[in-house]
Structure 1
C-alpha cells in the first residue's frame, strides 16, 4: 500500500485515481476547484466528469497541492497540455528525488513543439529525468472507471521508474506493459488526437467506413513519419500507444476529439464546438503544434495540414477531403517505410 498523489481531477485523472485506490493505495487527488473537492470528499462522486460512478473511500481530494503530494511515493500528473507548465511550477517546491513522477497527458506544445515530458523537465529541472514516466494507450476513462478490461503502456528512460508505475497500476482489469521508447509513446499518444478529429469530421460529413479506415491507416503513416524523424522506435507505432490508441480514439463516441470533429463535419464552427464540449479537446492544440513541426522539419503530413487549414483558416471540411483525395500519385510501401 502506497501514498499516491493525483494532480488533476478530470475524467482521466479520476479514473486512474480509481485504479490506484482499487489497488489499495491511499490516493489524494488535487483539484483547484473547491466545489469539486467537497463533492469528492462528501459524496464520493465526480459528477461532471464521471456521472453515476461511485468513488472508493480511500480516494480523497484536496485543494492544497502541498498537502496533496506530501509523503507521496508517486505523483500522477493528469492535466491538459496547456496547464502543464503552470501546475509544475506549483509542484516544484514540494517534490523530491525519491518520488516517481508519472504523467498521463497527451499533447505537444505549439511554438516550442515540446512533448509533455520535455515541458515537465523545463519546469522541474533535468534532475527529474530518470523519475519521469509516461502512461499512455487505448483507454477511455468511462470504461476504466467501470473496471472494463484495459491495457496501457508505461515508458521511462529509467526502466526501474517504469516498473514502479507498472506495479502501482496493474491489476486484473488494468494491464500495464513497459516500453523504453518515451518519444514514440508520447508522439503516438499526442498525434492520434489529430486523426481522431479527422475521423469525427468524416463521420459528420456522412462518409462511411471506407473513408474512416483510409484516414486511420494514412494517419498512422503520418504519425510514424514524424515520430521516426524525432528518433522514435517505429515499432512503437504498431503497438498500444500507436495503432491501439488510434483505433479507440477514432471509432468511439467516448472520444472528445471524435465528438468535436463530428460537430465540425456537421457544420459547427470551432468556437461553438469548444464551448459546447465544456472540456479540453487536445487535438485542436496538437494540430497546430504538429503542423508547425512538420513545416519546420519538411515532413509531409497532408492530413494534419488539411485539418490545420480547417481549424485555423476556416477551410470547408468537404474541400479538405477533396484536396486529400486529389493529391498526386504515390507508392504505399515507399510511404510506409517508417516501419521498416
Structure 2
C-alpha cells in the first residue's frame, strides 16, 4: 500500500472514532450539535456542558492512552525483536500501576502538581520493572520468548499483589485507586489531560525518532554495532521513552491490556515492518482502537458502562493465543 494511502486511511479512521466517541453516551449529541457546540453555538446548553466538561476530555484522554500503548507496544516488539512483547505482557503496565497507586496512597492533592506526582511515580516503577524483567529473562545475550513471558507474568503478579496491599491499607484513597484499577478515564478532565500531555510528548517523541535505530536493531546487536549504532545508548533511550509513554497511559487510564500487542501487529500486516512508519502508524492505530473499545464499553450494557479494559481483554486474549501458537510453529524466540 502506498505511504500516502496508509496515512489517509489511519487519519480518517481516527477522525471517525473521535466523532463517534463524542456522539455516543448516556446522552447522545447529534452530529450537527457537536459542530455547533465546539464553537460555542450549541442550541442546547446541556449539550455544550456535556461535550466540553465530560465527553471531550474523556475522548482526548482515551485517544492519548491508546496512542501511548500502541506506540510503546511497537517499540517493545522491535527492541526485544519479539512479537509477544508489549507493556502489559512483560509486566511494565503492572509496575507502572503500582507506582501510580503508591503515589495515590500518599494522598497527594487533586491539583496540577499533585497529579504530576502520579505519572512520575508510575514512570520510575515502570523503569524498574522493565529492567528486572530483562534481567530475569536474559539467557546469555538472548531474550527468549518463553523467558520473557514467564518473567513478565511473575513480576506483574508481584506488582499487582503490592498494589492490592496498598489499596487495602489506604482506605482514604481506596475509591480513587479502585476507579483507576477498572481502566478507562477514571481520573479524567482537562486537568488530567494537561498533566499527561508533557509526559506523552516526550515519550512518543523519543519513540518516533528511534524508528531507524529499531530497523537496524532487527539485524542483531552485534551487526547493529558494526553498522555504527551505539546499541547500549539506543536501547536505554527507547526503554526510557517506552516506559514514559506507558507510565503516562497507566497513571490516568488504569491497566488496559492488549492494545500494545494487537495494534502493532495489525499495522505491520497492513503497512509493512519499517519502524520509521510502524511507530507512528501504531500511535494512530492505538488511539483509534481504544476509542472504539471505549464506545463499545458504553453501549454493550447501556445504561451500565463496562470498564474499557474488559473489552480489550475480550478481544486481545484470543489474539494473543493465536499469536503464541503462530510464534511456536515459526520457531520465534
Say yes or no: TM over 0.5: no
Q: TM-score, normalised by structure 2?
A: 0.24
| Structure with the higher fraction of residues in strand conformation | 1
Q: TM-score, normalised by structure 1?
A: 0.24
| Structure with the higher fraction of residues in helix conformation | 2
